[in-house]
Chains A and B, each alone.
Chain A
Amino acid sequence: QITLKESGPTLVKPTQTLTLSCSFSGFSLRTKGETVGWIRQPPGKALEWLALIFWDDNKYYSPSLKSRLTITKDTSKNLVFLTMINMDPVDTATYYCAHFVRVVGSSRYFDSWGQGTLVTVSS
């Protein structure tokens, strides 16, 4: 059974840097094919994909946020991190980490999600 859980600050000030952690179990990023992603959702708005990190340390980012995002992993501790610089009130959202399934020639989707963590950006 795959589980994920996000953690980090609930309140950050404008211009500050946000760092979120995703602790997961049920799979390992040492295993070929395994991938974790980050998605966010502003209150009352749609899901927005942010980043993916693969078992081989390949990383992909949302083109519109690429300059502000960094995704990393600690394979030994089953942790994935997301750093976002220069936070703004419009970045207020629930941030989710999720397990990404990538079946070559067949599927790409998020099958298990964390509970999400609400981050508010305000002075």
Chain B
Amino acid sequence: QSALTQPASVSGSPGQTITISCTGTSSDVGGYNYVSWYQQHPGKVPKLMISGVNKRPSGVSNRFSGSKSGNTASLTISGLQAEDEADYYCGSHTSADTYVFGGGTKVTVL
């Protein structure tokens, strides 16, 4: 299985809205509504931000939202804040009952 494809970096100014894409295949992203998103600050443990394409765990800001179209999932961060600067990874269940992560996207707040 290949890693899901994410842009290496995305940037935005405070208050702006940014979107991170995550492209897979019909055997993973496109085949199931099981895409999740994780935030990782430098030196820290990954934190679940979105599960099941668009479900926010308790405690995660509603500025974070997820969606999916075909083989591409997206994470949108609205009202960008300095604390959102981090690496973001998508992940998905696969048809082989395995799991796969994306290559990660570095979000920079300008």
Q: Known contacts being A63-B98, A107-B52, A109-B48, is A49 close to B91, with CB within 8 Å?
A: yes
Contact of B98 among A39, A47, A60, A110 (CB under 8 A): A60
Interface size grouping (class) on chain A: 20 to 34
Q: How far is the CA of A111 from the CA of B48 in the complex (A)?
A: 6
B109 within 8 A of A: no
> Given the complex, which residues of B lie within 8 Å of A113, measured CB to CB?
45-47
A57 within 8 A of B: no
Q: How far is the CA of A48 from the CA of B100 in the complex (A)?
A: 7
Q: Known contacts being A107-B34, A108-B93, is A114 close to B45, with CB within 8 Å?
A: yes
> Given the complex, which residues of B lie within 8 Å of A111, measured CB to CB?
48, 51, 57
A47:B104 contact, CB within 8 angstroms: yes
Q: How far is the CA of A98 from the CA of B80 in the complex (A)?
A: 28
Taking CB atoms and an 8 Å cut-off, the chain B residues in 79-110 that contact chain A are 89, 91-93, 96-104
Q: How far is the CA of A109 from the CA of B89 in the complex (A)?
A: 12
A67 within 8 A of B: no
Nearest-neighbour CB distance to chain A for B30, whole angstroms, equals: 15
A90 within 8 A of B: no
> Given the complex, which residues of B lie within 8 Å of A63, measured CB to CB?
1, 96, 98
Q: How far is the CA of A89 from the CA of B12 in the complex (A)?
A: 37
Nearest-neighbour CB distance to chain B for A59, whole angstroms, equals: 10
> Given the complex, which residues of A lie within 8 Å of B34, measured CB to CB?
107-109
Q: Known contacts being A37-B99, A49-B91, A49-B98, is A109 close to B104, with CB within 8 Å?
A: no
> Given the complex, which residues of B lie within 8 Å of A49, measured CB to CB?
91, 98-101
Q: How far is the CA of A90 from the CA of B104 in the complex (A)?
A: 19
Q: How far is the CA of A49 from the CA of B91 in the complex (A)?
A: 9
Contact of A47 among B1, B47, B89 (CB under 8 A): B89
A101 within 8 A of B: yes
> Given the complex, which residues of A lie within 8 Å of B1, measured CB to CB?
62-64
Which A residues are within 8 Å of any B CB, using their own CB? Answer: 37, 39, 46-49, 52, 60-64, 96, 100-101, 103, 106-111, 113-116
Q: Can you name 7 A-B residue pairings with CB atoms under 8 Å?
A: A47-B38, A49-B98, A49-B99, A49-B101, A109-B51, A111-B48, A113-B47
